[in-house]
Amino acid sequence: MANTSALINVMISAAREASRSLRRDFYNVETLEVTRKGTADFVSDADLRAEDIIFEALNKARPKYGFLMEERGEVVGTDNSNRWIVDPLDGTTNFLHGIPHFCISIGLERDREPHAGVVYNPVTDDLYYAEKGAGAYHNDRRLRVSARTDLSECLFVHGLPFKGKAGADIALAETNNVLAQSAGIRRFGSAALDLAFVASGKFDVFWERILGPWDITAGAMLVREAGGLVSEIDKVGGRPHLTGSVLASNGPIHEAARALILQK
């Protein structure tokens, strides 16, 4: 593994500790208690156990930092500059269907800006991490975004909304726009891993609307440190808010991709 900072080591350690619980639950998914947060939005015992483990580990290592967690919500810290932003299981629907494409996402926000991120798939043992100014890595390999500049050769990844989530009409219209002039679209079901794959150069563009801060923070850090761009979809040059729409790309095609998605 590349020479990592104390901060990144803390984040990786917390992710790996929680991953042991998630792996056990993944291979015994039929025994989990699952509840609905929305029409097709689920939370399981696995999410809650993993979040508790991450909370305890990070709080022990940095007791003054605050938290924003998908299930637990906000925990205010005495350090007003630093806040952990955590999704203990990004890709819950995949997880519950036995599909090994999900991850733990841990981001650190410093002075209201993404500062560091860890994205970890416990089943495949794929670890992505980045810290501001220090680059982005997949295990021990430095990441760089793709170099494609022709949209017809670019592969997009998109987070289509599920039942009960707003925005299906807009998402389908944007999908049709992209399908007509690109190499294709994928829908994998984990925004954090989608962003990690943009950072890795596997995908050239990711876009999705109505995301939470736990979906964005760690992955956005990966893309930026790998040389890409992350912004809002509808605002030229706009950086993404912690909740909202996200457009991530390799950089040179960013505005062309936006125009294609929006048909503007």
The string of pLDDT tens digits covering residues 20-35 is 999 988 888 887 766 6
In whole angstroms, give the CA distance from residue 17 to residue 94.
Answer: 21
For each of the domains in the chain, give its residue range(s) and CATH number, in order of start.
6-142 (3.30.540.10), 151-262 (3.40.190.80)
Q: Mean pLDDT over all residues of the chain?
A: 91
pLDDT of residue 181: 96
Dihedral in degrees, nearest 10, Cα atoms 245, 248, 253, 258: -10
Are the beta carbons of 204 and 197 closer than 8 angstroms? no
Are the beta carbons of 47 and 105 closer than 8 angstroms? no
Task: Return the sign of the alpha-carbon dihedral for residues 187, 25, 58, 75.
Answer: positive
C-alpha distances (whole Å) from 132 to each of 55, 83, 114, 172, 196 are 23, 15, 8, 35, 15
According to DSSP, residue 220 is labeled H
Task: Return the sign of the alpha-carbon dihedral for residues 176, 181, 186, 187.
Answer: negative
The string of pLDDT tens digits covering residues 136-172 is 999 989 999 999 999 999 999 998 877 666 778 999 9
Which of 196, 182, 205 has the alpha carbon at shortest distance from 253?
A: 205
Q: Which amino acid is at 177?
A: N
Are the beta carbons of 137 and 122 closer than 8 angstroms? no
Q: What is the pTM (predicted TM-score) of this model?
A: 0.92
Provide the pairing of β-strand 135-138 with 126-131. Answer: antiparallel
pLDDT of residue 36: 54
Beta bridge partners of 190: none
* Residue numbers in the chain where pLDDT is lower than 70: 1-2, 33-43, 163-165, 237-243, 264
Tokens representing residue 207 in the block: 């876009």
pLDDT of residue 264: 67
In whole angstroms, give the CA distance from residue 109 to residue 43.
Answer: 25
Provide the pairing of β-strand 41-44 with 73-75. Answer: unpaired
